Chains A and B, each alone.
Chain A
Amino acid sequence: MESKKTATGETCAVKANGGKRALPLKHVLSESVLRMNPARLISNPVIFIVEVMFFIVAIMAIAPGLIPAVSSPSQQMFYVYVAIILLFTVWFSTLSDSIAEAQIKATADGLKQIEHEVKARRMDPDRKVTVVSSKALKKDDIVLIQKGDYIPIDCVVLEGIAMVDESLLTGESAPVRKAPTDVLIGGSVLVSDSLIARISADPGDTYLSKLISMVESTKRPKTPNEAAISTLLLGFTAIFTIIIVSILWLSVSLSLGADLSVLIALYVCLLPTTIGALLPAIGISGIRRMSIDRIIAKSGKAIETAGDTDVVLLDKTGTITLGSRTATEFIPLGGHSAKEMGEASFMSSWYDDTPEGRSIIALAYSLGFVPKEFHSISRAEAMEFSAVTRTSSVRLGRPNVFMLPKGGKGMLQRSRISKKYQTGKSSDDLNISKGAPDAIAQSARALPEGFDEKVSGISSAGETAMAVAVDGEIIGLIRLKDQLKQGIKAKIEAVKVMGIKPIMITGDQPLTAKSIASEVGIEEFVSKAKPETKIEVVKREQAAGRIVAMVGDGTNDAPALAAADAGLAMGSGTIAAKEAANMVDLESDPSKIIQVIMLGKQLLMTRGAITTFSISNDVAKYFAIVPVMFSALPVLGRVNVLGLPPSVTVLAALIFNALIIPALIPLATRGVRLKPRSTMSIFLKNMVTYGVGGVILPFIGIEAIGLLIKAL
């Protein structure tokens, strides 16, 4: 899993649900033997040919004198050895398939544990509740979900706010807040309150079951690159078939004394058995790694296209930043103290249940700015944010019985504070308002000195200013900062190093956008984005000949997701978005698009590396076998570079050819190592490792095996 760490961290092992489980060895072994049935092997032509060759040599081993022109009874033992090695070659290939299939089955089983049958409370239109099995639910049914219930099936919240634990699906341990229109994924657990929700999918049509069926489906259509590699392999098979047939033909016509078993050995060595055997396993393991990351790819092609990405569109909010601004400083103005300012901000935010409001309270609390008027806050009159005035305000009056504030995340914090500060001295009515600086300035009596400079100073730093006024007098500003998501800088750096251009999309003002963009190292951004901006950018980049990847969750994003070459929809997003995208992330982590891109690249590289390795290997096998092939031409022994006796050379080459398959199974299922580096340096490294290494390694390997055989 080393290759994954760069992008995802350690989460996969926890989530894999069977990824770590020991493979059912017995099943793998029996399955791999069953797969050797020729009728099943025919879908893999290269390996099928090897098996046919095994049957021919097996017949020669039983009846060595059957075809006198190209075989001799004195070589019977040699034929037996060749036949055994050929059989193992076929078995190693089926074994690699079986291992990959077993791995993916383990993953699917883990997923199925989540999607088990549960009891659900179905609500009739007259709100009567009946308990039914989750399997009996249909699309558009209304269900009641109570604390401790499993979400029976994918649904959309209609009423209520509650916390949901999605850790079974996503591995994210903190519960997620769900409010009306949010999407609930079947298999997660409600940990507080209750919800009424509408089922959005029939059983078997949920995203989880889509993920499972993606993992389990045995009939995957070949991706374009897989198809192209298969064609190439067929071409090589054709060339080598012609060569071997010609040599056989010539050897008989000219009495060159080539033994059929040796020719078959050369043939099998030359055939691209390595990539032929491992190609299916590479594709299967790619799907498996996607499912471990909880991403549904609607086709293998989608993953490959992601690997080709030139441009990736990143939403600022949610992808680059946490999506909520955090208060970092109180700036008093007009001769007021920081404490006054902080206390006013505290009170103005008490009923503000937005992340910003909560962060203001947290900042004030940590600085010790807890107002003495706190007692009276319980009976304060809160004016919620109004789009007209672009402000929210609090009117404080006489003290009264303390009431716990509404539920929500800040609840615990607030109850702690209210216990500490019980009722005290009362004060006169106060009207504290808070809002965008220009909105507050409009209703203020006068602007304090330095107001405009401070405000523009804050926004040019890419931050947001909020003004606070007490009874119409502006007493200061709150500095709010966009918090970057953890690790996002490194991810963006990785993307850039690999030659992919990130474009940040945000509704913010250009100055704010620019500041965030430059903080994470993004050169190109689109600010003041409107809902249709994404599709415009996608179309513009595509017209310039670039492959575009993007993430989206809203219905607004659907057209852009459909137009993008690689579109990743969030599992928590709207159904329209999920239908439009070609991939869905059940974990709803938008920065995962980068991981998908890396996985796509890794799959392509692995296929290319093993193909190159396979073809490079042939050079050495040729130079090993051809000089010892014609017993009537001993003079060719002078170019026998390995210096081994003929039969030993042939067996050594065959054994090397067979052993290289299981040796590369881990590479095929894990993928070649991919560190974010420039495309050319990745290419060079692979070229040297698998191209040059592929030419040299077999010389050493065949020689070593040959010496070992000689010693035995």
Chain B
Amino acid sequence: MSALPYAVWLVFIFAAVIASSWLLSAYLFAVYTGRKGRLDRLFDPIDNFIYKVIRADPSKQMTGGEYFLALLGFSALAAALCFIILVAQGYLPLNPQHFPGLAWDLALHTALSFATNTDLQHYAGETTLSYFSQAAAIQFLQFASAAIGMCVAVAVFRGFSGKFSGIGNFYYDFVRSITRILLPASLVAAIVLVALGLPQSLGGYVTANTIGGGAQTLDIGPVASLVSIMQLGTNGGGYYGANSASPYQNPSPLTNWLEIGLMLLIETSMPFLFGRMVGNKREGHMLLIAAYAIYGINLVVAFVNLAPFGPGIEARLGAFSSIVWTVTATSTMTGSLNAALSAFNPVVIIAALMGMFIQAAPGGIGGGVMYLLMYVVIAVFIVGLMAGRTPEYLGAKILPNDVKRAVIAFVSHPILILIPLALAFSTGAAAVAGAGSIPNGFTKVLYEFTSAAANNGSDFLGTAGNTLFFNISTSIVVLLGRFIPMAVMLAIADSMLKRTRSSQGGGLRTDNLLFAGILVVSILILVVLTFLPFIILGPVLSLLQGYNGI
């Protein structure tokens, strides 16, 4: 079987995604820079009404600290609300199946996980959550957390660019992200998905009489609307426990590839937006090239070994699209699944882990490009010195404080993965969840915390993770994994905002392919240095032991 048609198909898909992202970025630029447009007549009254209700002054420039506190406060409020909804869902409307409220630790884990755009699910939605919970808690958080990701990215762009008077106002960015970008985009996506066969109903589960004479419960609900924002906002928390392997979430190859495109769409447009905001589109293009190069490497790694898989691949979707889906979902921090991870060859798991270790290829909504800039600061600093000048990015000198902050953001990732990983095995908590063995159990637990720290949500433990230890530990990890890097990157952006910019550009140039190449190599070296022993103890060991499927 030749690999060529598959490669051509992938190139076609990526070309389509990149072209749409490029178009989208022009719209995003207009939205975030407040450029006047025809749609203002529709959106301005809505936005102004919201500002009035929340009593926010959208024209006030915030400092990095204010911006961070605003988004942290909002996230906390949203998470608290959802925690209450989940615990109390038995008393709330739109619950035709009469599901009871969730246990406090599972509710806490779920609320925090969705509020941080992680969407780790230690439950199966169709047997746990009411329509109201799915819509008011899950879907609400999926919109909010995606919008926050975009806000932070845009605020960071403003700081790095140095062409803006401030890093912006959180409420302004947030409201516009929701009303002008995410709501319209997911509405369009949902309509298309309904047209392609996804259910959208609040009418309760349907019982159908099958040809065989038996009765089957069709657990349908408001699926299309949730799926559209879950993919578009790189959330990944599905309606069903089987996520996108379920035919209701992902009925056909067409929806499969469309949903892959949705996962990539906004995050791919972010580097373009960056280029527009810093006033040099090539800077954005190079970031995009670096991100896609790593994404491409991940895909290649996943296809290195085509040995037979274990059971768990959806036959109707096929191995090829399942692997591409999995690598994309982990490279974009969506984390949705269309096959059981245990069905994959360890190389696919390695590729998935790489995506989540790096977090920037192309990464989660907003977060991905933010991490990319963190790597840029570190890489420019290390290698830029060799050009014989104090390293600069976009004309701004990289100061000791920037290096300190970028390193904090970078170090937080391995800390949040490795400490709980070691704890899980030393306390025996891994064994309780049926994952106490090496290499298989080790891989699952490593994957769980990596997914949590990267705010990905791709889930290897599944409902087995519904233990007190994993619910609490991953709750902490998703919180810190989300907010430490955001705080740090906002601080860098804030301090870069007013920094003197050199115009000569006499040092290392960052808008050419050489730099994109250096960035890719630096990122790979940094991540390999940090995680190699753990990849070796997990999937590499499985591979060496000749074990296919974990």
Contact = CB atoms under 8 A, between A and B. Distances in A.
A374 interface: no
Given A243-B533, A250-B421, A250-B537, A612 B386 contact: yes
Interface in A270-294: 270
Secondary structure of the A side of the interface?
helix
A545 B507 CA distance: 14
Interface string B432-445: 00000010001000
A239 B529 CA distance: 9
A311 B395 CA distance: 15
Interface string A630-658: 10010110110000000000000000000
A304 B397 CA distance: 12
Nearest to A232: B403
B529 A247 contact: no
Contact of A626 (B410, B411, B421, B533): B533
A683 B438 CA distance: 45
Interface string B24-55: 00000000000000000000000000000000
A421 interface: no
B400 A227 contact: yes
A246 B421 contact: yes
Given A228-B399, A242-B415, A636 B386 contact: no
A679 B422 contact: no
A674 B386 CA distance: 11
Contacts, number: 187
A307 interface: yes
Contacts of A499: 504, 506
A547 B425 contact: no
A246 B390 contact: no
B370 interface: no
A238 interface: yes
B537 A256 contact: yes
B435 to A, nearest CB: 12
A517 to B, nearest CB: 20
Contacts of A235: 403-404, 407-408, 410-411
A611 B541 contact: no
Contact of A250 (B415, B425, B506): B425
Interface stretch (B106-114, B228-236, B375-383): B375-383
A605 B388 contact: yes
Nearest to A545: B503
A544 interface: yes
A687 B383 contact: yes
Q: Contact residue range for chain B?
A: 35 or more
Contact of B544 (A239, A615, A638): A638
A546 B545 contact: no
B16 interface: no
A232 B533 contact: no
A457 B109 CA distance: 88
Contacts of B529: 239, 270, 615, 618-619, 622
Contacts of A687: 383, 386, 518
Nearest to B413: A239
Interface in A336-351: none
A609 interface: yes
Contacts of B419: 242, 246
A676 to B, nearest CB: 11
B544 A243 contact: no
A253 B533 contact: no
B386 A626 contact: no
Interface in A669-693: 674, 679-680, 682-684, 686-687, 690-691
Given A616-B525, A682-B388, A683-B386, A231 B422 contact: no
Contact of A253 (B386, B387, B426, B501): B426
Contacts of B408: 235
Contact of A605 (B385, B533, B541): B385
B386 A310 contact: no
Contacts of A405: none
A499 B503 CA distance: 12
Nearest to B535: A626
A633 B507 contact: no
A252 interface: yes
B502 A242 contact: no
A602 interface: yes
Nearest to A544: B503
A242 B386 contact: no
A545 B501 CA distance: 6
B509 interface: yes
A679 B389 contact: yes
A473 interface: no
Given A249-B422, A500-B506, A605 B386 contact: yes
Contact of B507 (A231, A619, A638, A679): A679
A602 B383 contact: no
B345 to A, nearest CB: 17
Given A545-B501, A636-B544, A242 B506 contact: no
B536 A310 contact: no
A546 B504 contact: yes
Contacts of B399: 224, 228
B398 A228 contact: yes
A465 interface: no
A254 B541 contact: no
A624 B509 CA distance: 34
Interface string A290-318: 00000000000000110110110000000
B508 interface: yes
A417 B161 CA distance: 72
Nearest to A680: B509
B403 to A, nearest CB: 4
Contacts of A547: 502, 504
Given A249-B426, A680-B509, A602 B411 contact: no
B390 A679 contact: no
Given A239-B411, A242-B418, A250-B421, A228 B381 contact: yes
Given A256-B438, A546-B503, A679-B389, A608 B384 contact: yes
A310 B426 contact: no
Contact of A608 (B382, B402, B415): B382
B438 A307 contact: no
A507 to B, nearest CB: 27
A607 interface: yes
B216 interface: no
Interface in A491-505: 498-501
A604 interface: yes
A604 B390 contact: yes
A400 interface: no
A270 B414 CA distance: 16
A443 interface: no
Nearest to A547: B502
A601 B388 contact: yes
B417 to A, nearest CB: 9
A225 interface: yes
Contacts of B207: none
Contacts of A611: 382, 385
Contacts of A682: 386-388
A682 B414 CA distance: 34
A639 B540 contact: yes
Contacts of B513: none
User: Which of A246, A249, A500, A602 has most chain B Cβ within 10 Å?
Assistant: A246
User: Which of B390, B404, B418, B525 has most chain A Cβ within 10 Å?
Assistant: B390
Contacts of A246: 418-419, 421-422, 534
B532 interface: yes
B530 interface: yes
18 contacts: A224-B399, A228-B398, A232-B381, A238-B407, A239-B414, A250-B425, A252-B426, A256-B438, A304-B390, A308-B397, A546-B503, A546-B504, A605-B385, A622-B532, A627-B536, A638-B544, A679-B507, A680-B509
Given A246-B422, A498-B506, A639-B540, 17 more contacts: A228-B381, A232-B381, A235-B408, A242-B415, A243-B414, A243-B418, A254-B438, A270-B529, A310-B504, A545-B500, A546-B503, A611-B385, A622-B529, A629-B533, A679-B389, A679-B507, A680-B387
